[in-house]
Structure 1
Amino acid sequence: MYPVRDKTEEILREAESCNPGPWGNHSRTAAHCAEKIAEYSGMDSEKAYVLGLLHDIGRKFGKRHLGHVSDGYSYMMSLGYDDVARICLTHSFNEKDIEGYVGKRDTTPEETELIQTGLAEIELDDYDKLIQLCDAISGAEGVMDIIDRMTDVKNRYGSYDQSKWNTNLGLKAYFEKRMGKDLYEVVDKANFRP
């Protein structure tokens, strides 16, 4: 279950009014990328757009790091949008391992348990992988080179797990092979602005 595009955009606008910041345009860039990649990958581009737009919706509840994962998951579950809740949970964990999280651990023990239990129950599918890739190429100003984006995150947080780094590069290669096209060409890296 996920909302239609108009409702999705309304949810994001309302969330931005609660916690303004660059995360809103980052989410718009991720949605654009997800939609375009899905079109060339034989996936549902509307679903991909919605999942990309709402992957960081937990940021509505304030300036949290790992906490935005559990906040987003709980918020989307409360609205009955299970597919979006799943993406809120999986987008930061391309190896399904909470230890690979880049950023501060600011969750309560209950929130941490929710994330760990949820990840253990999920087998990552192509929508999970798609949003993980789009998260790794989406900046607030537009599409970024994946290496530049990961380096930016590493510089902001002081580290970036090498295994997570390699998995992101693997996701890029996976979707490029699936599309038969260059990733940056598909998402119009040179021109797209949120």
Structure 2
Amino acid sequence: MEQNTPAATHARKGYPGRGEAERILAEAEPLNPGPWGDHSRTAAHCAEKIALYAGLDPDKAYVLGLLHDIGRRFGKRHLGHVSDGYTYMMSLGYEDAARICLTHSFNDKRMESYVGSFDTSEEETRLIREKLQEAVYDDYDLLIQLCDSISGAEGVMDIIDRMGDVKRRYGFYDPDKWNRNLELKAYFEEKMGKDLYEAVEKDTFTPGAG
């Protein structure tokens, strides 16, 4: 007989509840200490705030933002964190969260635009490529892509500053990916009828505060 537990209910929805998502992240951080945890909290905050103004589910947006980088629990990998996160979330039955672990890194659906090392096995690379080809992006995919591009470990960043920081660290930022992020900013500002940075409380939000 199928158990009707909160976790089972959320698994059917494709993502965990807020409390479970926060537990998953808190459990993961000590396994690979670094700024990615607070980066994820900032992304979750931004996703929730944008969702409130854009007619999306704020709880779903928050959880997907919180877990988009959960593959980093398995170590310091670049492209590998994408396949690690996808596989981990699928193992827990959270299909929507798994999808975001994959799609957040590819706002133009091209593996070639990934910023970082291609440190995946042939099997992992094939998994990412196949799932990208299958994916039909919805507003949650686009939302987390945008939030990833404005979220720092210490709070919300200007999108140009954030992309510039990534470019300095890796020595490259695909111009199509750069331009697509700016298109996503404009897309969600139109949906919200509001300035992006005002919506996400750029000047006041600090991850972990409150």
| Pairwise TM-score range, normalised by the shorter structure | over 0.9
Q: Percent identity?
A: 74
Q: State yes or no: 1:191 paired with 2:204.
A: yes
2:100 alignment partner in structure 1: 87
1:172 alignment partner in structure 2: 185
- CA offset at residue 94 of structure 1? 0.3
CA distance in 2 between partners of 1:159 and 1:2 (Å): 33
Q: State yes or no: 1:62 paired with 2:61.
A: no
Q: 1:109 aligns with which of 122, 125, 132?
A: 122
Unaligned 5+ runs, structure 1? none
CA distance in 2 between partners of 1:173 and 1:71 (Å): 31
How many residues are treated as equivalent by the alignment?
Answer: 194
CA distance in 2 between partners of 1:43 and 1:143 (Å): 20
1:151 alignment partner in structure 2: 164
CA distance in 1 between partners of 2:75 and 2:162 (Å): 23
Correspondences of 1:1-194 after superposition (within 5 Å)? 1-194=14-207
Unaligned 5+ runs, structure 2? 1-13
Q: SS at the partner of 1:29?
A: helix
Q: Which amino acid aligns with 1:168?
A: N
**What whole-Å deviation, never above 9, does each CA across 1:78-128 have from its counterpart, x for those lacking one?**
000000000001000001110000001100000000000000000111000
Q: Which amino acid aligns with 1:78?
A: S
- CA offset at residue 17 of structure 1? 1.4
Q: Pick the structure with greater CA Rg.
A: 2
Q: Which amino acid aligns with 1:83?
A: D
2:3 alignment partner in structure 1: none
- CA offset at residue 69 of structure 1? 0.1
CA distance in 2 between partners of 1:179 and 1:33 (Å): 13
TM-score of the aligned structures, taking structure 1 as reference length: 1.00
Q: Which amino acid aligns with 1:193?
A: T
CA distance in 2 between partners of 1:18 and 1:123 (Å): 32
Q: SS at the partner of 2:153?
A: coil
- CA offset at residue 55 of structure 1? 0.1
TM-score of the aligned structures, taking structure 2 as reference length: 0.92
Q: Which amino acid aligns with 1:132?
A: Q
CA distance in 2 between partners of 1:31 and 1:178 (Å): 19
CA distance in 1 between partners of 2:33 and 2:205 (Å): 22
- CA offset at residue 60 of structure 1? 0.2
Q: SS at the partner of 2:155?
A: coil
Task: Report the RMSD for the aligned CA atoms in angstroms.
Answer: 0.3
